[in-house]
């Protein structure tokens, strides 16, 4: 059932992307055909639409006229436009499915009415909000493999079936999660299980980040050698990339658009590089001169629908970018004081950003206002490119304590620490990555090892 739902969401996201591109094409063609060439060029650049796109003359005007007529008719009949659209969805033009329900992080700031507080105080008891945090389930862990040098990054596939890890030794390892679980079974009596299903060697410098294509068996990597490489892991014998993007800077982070048609690269350049994966054409934001950028990008991540993306930068800022125009819509300057912002990711409902920095804080920001909503304290991270990640339900947040070599877990809603576990790495882990589909995560260490963690049922 979960797999079917994931496929449905991916299909709906694809269809929504097609609708956006169709609308953008009609706008560009309309402006161009009416000799508004400068406006057409601006829109084409901002939306990544070919300026010479073909469209029937006056097509946009015809569609708008028909839409207005339908809207007027429905209003006269007392039916809202939203209800009409909901009941008349076209095949191929369905809207994006609502993201999986997530927590409303404003709930915990609720203050009971004064009379309730006063009543409790009269009874001699202070209002106690502790104990409201959920308990994080126990996990078991297993060393599943190791690289020849520091294990630097990890990524799960969108369906949770695969895990990829990248290393300073320039190699990429690909694991099948079902085989890792089989290996962890205490009563496995059929001999050793090998969870690694592929190893790739094609970079010449350390690998910084990885991502899986949302539909195809393609893994992409970004590295210090200024390249982005595409690997087809359906071909088990292949060790080399089948496509390569040569960037102008060190590639620190990569993120696929949910449609799979675009790829973001966070580099030593202060603006994310947006690539069309079919043409490899690179696009940059049109409003970069207004932003005041002065730091390399440590991490870039698309939202669940591709409607926006977020960057965490060495200048300490968290920036939110429009997923269609690629323009910066909001900058949170000094999100982690004078320290680097090392990771940032959007919640599934796109209302909040979770960030981590070298000031030993993890923070939650409201997208609409840029307001700090929550702060998760009690874990030291000042040296490493530390990650803060949600679990699969977004009820908990995980990060690293460098000083104690522990994995720290907070209740996302109350911001209380609910678990501290020894990482079992020699030295603090370099990276944490949680599965998007189940209670399982991976840790990568300077001790070269990869550990897999799963809930004890």
Q: What is the 3-state secondary structure (H, E, C) of 247-277?
A: CCCCEEEEEECCCCCEEEEEECCCCCEEEEC
Residue showing tokens 């084409």:
44
Rounded to whole angstroms, the Cα distance separating 115 from 61 reads: 60
pLDDT of residue 118: 39
Those residues of the chain that have pLDDT short of 70 are 1-18, 44-48, 69-131, 186-191, 286-293
Using a 10 angstrom Cβ sphere, with 0-12 exposed, 13-18 middle and 19 or more buried, the burial of residue 97 is middle
CA distance 142 to 450: 9
Amino acid 90: pLDDT: 34
Query: Token pair of 17, please?
Result: 């992307």
How far is 444 from 433, CA to CA, in rounded Å? Answer: 9
Q: What is the largest CA-CA distance in the chain?
A: 77
Cα separation, 409 vs 397, in Å, equals 6
- CATH code at 139-455: 2.130.10.10
For position 449, what pLDDT does the model report? 96
**Full-prediction pTM beyond 0.75?**
no
Report the distance separating Cα 185 and Cα 456, nearest Å.
11
Give the length of the chain: 457
Cα angle for residues 327, 332, 333 (degrees, 5° grid): 110
Q: Look at residue 191 and give its three-state secondary structure.
A: coil
Kindly write down the DSSP assignment for every residue of 111-124, as one continuous string.
---HHHHHHHHHTT
How many other CB atoms are there within 10 angstroms of residue 278's CB atom? 8
CB distance 162 to 212 below 8 Å: yes
| Cα 388 from Cα 344, distance rounded (Å) | 8
What is the Cβ-side half-sphere exposure of residue 107, based on CA atoms within 13 angstroms?
12
- Asked whether the beta carbons of 314 and 340 are under 8 A apart, the reply is yes
* φ, ψ dihedrals at 198, nearest 5°: -170, 145
- Provide the residue ranges of all domains of the chain, joining segments of one domain with +: 7-70, 139-455
Q: Output the pLDDT for position 100.
A: 41
Q: In the prediction, which pLDDT does 70 show?
A: 67
Distance CA 208, CA 267 (A): 10
Q: At a CB cut-off of 8 Å and minimum separation 6, what does 73 contact?
A: none
User: pLDDT value at position 131?
Assistant: 52
């Amino acid at each position: 059932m979960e797999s079917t739902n994931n496929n449905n969401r991916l299909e709906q996201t694809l269809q929504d992307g097609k609708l956006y591109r169709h609308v953008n094409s009609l706008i560009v063609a309309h402006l161009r055909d009416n000799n508004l060439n400068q406006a057409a060029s601006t829109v084409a650049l901002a939306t990544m639409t070919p300026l010479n796109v073909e469209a029937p003359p006056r097509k946009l005007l015809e569609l708008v006229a028909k839409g207005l007529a339908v809207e007027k008719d429905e209003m006269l009949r007392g039916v809202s436009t939203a209800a009409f659209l909901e009941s008349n969805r076209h095949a191929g033009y369905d809207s994006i499915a609502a993201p999986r329900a997530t927590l409303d992080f404003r709930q915990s700031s609720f203050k009971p009415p004064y009379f309730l507080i006063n009543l409790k105080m009269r009874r001699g008891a202070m209002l106690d909000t502790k104990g409201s945090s959920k308990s994080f389930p126990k996990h078991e862990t297993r060393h599943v493999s190791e690289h020849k040098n520091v294990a630097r990054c990890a990524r799960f596939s969108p369906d949770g079936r695969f895990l990829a890890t990248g290393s300073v030794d320039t190699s990429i390892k690909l694991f099948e999660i079902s085989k890792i679980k089989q290996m962890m079974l205490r009563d496995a009596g059929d001999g050793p299980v090998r969870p690694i299903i592929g190893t790739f060697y094609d970079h010449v410098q350390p690998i910084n980040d990885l991502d899986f294509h949302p539909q195809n068996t393609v893994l992409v990597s970004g590295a210090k050698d200024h390249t982005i490489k595409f690997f087809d892991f359906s071909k088990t014998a292949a060790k080399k990339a089948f496509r390569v993007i040569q960037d102008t800077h060190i590639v620190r982070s990569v993120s696929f658009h949910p449609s799979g048609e675009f790829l973001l690269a966070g580099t030593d350049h202060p603006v994310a590089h947006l690539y069309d994966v079919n043409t490899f054409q690179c696009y940059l934001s049109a409003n970069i001169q207004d932003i005041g950028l002065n730091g390399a990008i440590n991490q870039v991540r698309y939202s669940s629908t591709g409607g926006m993306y977020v960057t965490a930068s060495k200048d300490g800022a968290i920036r939110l970018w429009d997923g269609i125009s690629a323009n910066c819509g909001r900058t949170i300057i000094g999100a982690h004081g004078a320290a680097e912002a090392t990771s940032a990711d959007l919640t599934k409902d796109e209302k909040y950003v979770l960030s981590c920095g070298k000031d030993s804080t993890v923070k939650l920001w409201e997208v609409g206002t840029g307001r700090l909503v929550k702060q998760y304290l009690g874990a030291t991270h000042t040296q490493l490119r530390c990650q803060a990640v949600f679990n699969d339900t977004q009820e908990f947040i995980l990060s690293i304590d460098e000083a104690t070599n522990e994995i720290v877990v907070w209740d996302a809603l109350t911001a209380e620490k609910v678990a501290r576990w020894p990482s079992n790495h020699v030295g603090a882990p370099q990276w944490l990555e949680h599965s998007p589909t189940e209670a399982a995560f991976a840790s990568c260490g300077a001790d070269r090892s990869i550990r897999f963690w799963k809930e004890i049922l």
